[in-house]
Amino acid sequence: MTLVFTKMQGAGNDFVVLDFTRQPFNLDSFQLKRIADRHFGVGCDQVLVVERPRDPAADFRYRIFNADGGEVEQCGNGARCFVKFVHARGLSAKREIRVETLGGTIQPRLESDGEVRVDMGRPSPPVVERLNVQGRELEVTIVSMGNPHAVQVVQDAAAAPVTAQGPALETHARFPNRVNAGYMQLLGRQAIALRVWERGTGETLSCGTGACAAVVAGIARGLLDEPAYAAVARQLEALLAAEGARLDADYHCPHHPDITGPCECRKPGPLLYRMAAADHRLDLAESWWVGDRMRDVVPAERLGGRGILIAHLPGNEPSSAGVRFPVVRDLSAAVDIILSERAPALQ
């Protein structure tokens, strides 16, 4: 059998990518394992397969096979490479595509500068547990990014027992489908060093879902600072609930980690806000415009300056879009305005 393949990498996490959009996928686990073998095959951490979608609302089906030939739910770095691949192969001209995975639908986006953004979706609520591994009790934070992770805090990531302990944690009885083992070193309140033993592959140079899981775990345990806008979002949400409105924090907030890297991404542009507004049937002409860092709090159009777009509050009718929408320079100032004057200040 002759296969046409593409070798790609995202932050050192390397892949063999196969296009099966024009023919049925017919490789078994032995063949996939052979392709991934670094001595007798092409060599990679994962084999990525592009197929036609089963869901009519999706553009592609994205399948991920670890180096042992087993299929898994999600791979963040692979998703970034996936977008580059479908564009390079002429399979899609869309900047943002909807992609089916075993872990759910994701929407990676190719930015105008060639970098890629992947919203990794909402993680499961983190759970801290103590497990006996190789006769030693470990405290791990268990979280899913569509695939399972067990994250532990270590003093020195470079000296962590990744290769010695990782396989035992991967196959621990607590995880019937196995788990990715993360070893997180705190470098401060806003930075970490991380090594990951990936199930079915071993240690990899990087792991996108592992990085997201580690940050989620660190914030949940109070070891890392959540972005300032998250606390502001909670205040806004409480205020708007009292006014009968709703804050939507599903777009690019700390509960939807973004992954970045050399195939990476930067802040989203106006298109994202137009899409978000359309998704939520948000009338931009009947919305309040205040604050800063709008992208992190609610769907919004970049209408000039930077600000938070607040869904229209019942009973308050702006005279025209943008004319009386005050823009302040930071979130705390925006919250002060809203909490102290409660919407009349925005009329």
Cα gap 220→279, rounded to integer Å:
29
Catalytic residue among 44, 75, 81, 263: 75
Q: Please state the rounded mean pLDDT for residues 242-256.
A: 37
Q: How confident is the model at residue 284 (pLDDT cuts 50, 70, 90)?
A: very low
Taking residue 237's Cβ as centre, other Cβ atoms within 10 Å add up to 17
Is 5-119 a CATH 3.10.310.10 domain?
yes
What are the structure tokens assigned to 213, written together?
Answer: 């899981």
Return all residues near 80 (Cβ < 8 A) that are at least 6 apart.
10, 108, 116, 118, 208, 259, 261, 263, 264
pLDDT the model gives residue 36: 96
Q: Please state the rounded mean pLDDT for residues 162-170.
A: 97
Q: Please state the rounded mean pLDDT for residues 315-332.
A: 37
Q: How confident is the model at residue 114 (pLDDT cuts 50, 70, 90)?
A: confident
pLDDT the model gives residue 282: 47
- Asked if pLDDT for residue 156 goes beyond 80, the answer is yes
User: In the annotation, is 75 catalytic?
Assistant: yes
pLDDT the model gives residue 234: 59
Q: Please state the rounded mean pLDDT for residues 267-279.
A: 41
Q: Please state the rounded mean pLDDT for residues 237-262.
A: 40
- Asked if pLDDT for residue 168 goes beyond 80, the answer is yes
Candidates 331, 121, 98; CA nearest to 231 is: 331
**Torsion over CA of 126, 129, 135 and 136, rounded to 10 degrees?**
80
Q: How confident is the model at residue 236 (pLDDT cuts 50, 70, 90)?
A: low
pLDDT > 70: percent of the chain? 65
Cite the residue boundaries of each domain of the chain with CATH code 3.10.310.10. 5-119, 127-220
User: Which of left, alpha, beta for 167 (phi over 0: left; psi -120 to 50: alpha)?
Assistant: alpha
pTM above 0.75, yes or no: no
Q: How confident is the model at residue 237 (pLDDT cuts 50, 70, 90)?
A: low
List residues bridging with 8 in a β-sheet.
Answer: 15
Amino acid letter, 156: D
Catalytic residue among 207, 253, 263, 265: 207
pLDDT the model gives residue 227: 64
Return all residues near 127 (Cβ < 8 A) that are at least 6 apart.
141, 142, 143
What are the structure tokens assigned to 146, written together?
Answer: 């569509």
Q: Please state the rounded mean pLDDT for residues 127-134.
A: 97
Sign of CA dihedral 75, 213, 29, 166: positive
User: In the annotation, is 44 catalytic?
Assistant: no
Mean pLDDT of the chain: 75
Q: Please state the rounded mean pLDDT for residues 261-287.
A: 40
What does each C-alpha distance from 93 to 5, 86, 87, 113, 325 come to in angstroms?
Answer: 21, 8, 6, 15, 36
pLDDT > 90: percent of the chain? 54
List residues bridging with 65 in a β-sheet.
Answer: 47, 71
Cα gap 312→284, rounded to integer Å:
9
Considering only 92-96, 156-160, 276-280, which range has the smallest mean pLDDT?
Answer: 276-280
Residue 244 or 217, more confident: 217
- Asked if pLDDT for residue 285 goes beyond 90, the answer is no
pLDDT the model gives residue 246: 40
20-58 pLDDT tens trace: 999 999 999 999 999 999 999 999 999 999 999 999 999
Cα gap 15→72, rounded to integer Å:
14
Residue 229 DSSP label: H
Class of domain 127-220: alpha beta
Matching residue, tokens 């770095």: 77
- Asked if pLDDT for residue 345 goes beyond 50, the answer is no
Amino acid letter, 99: V
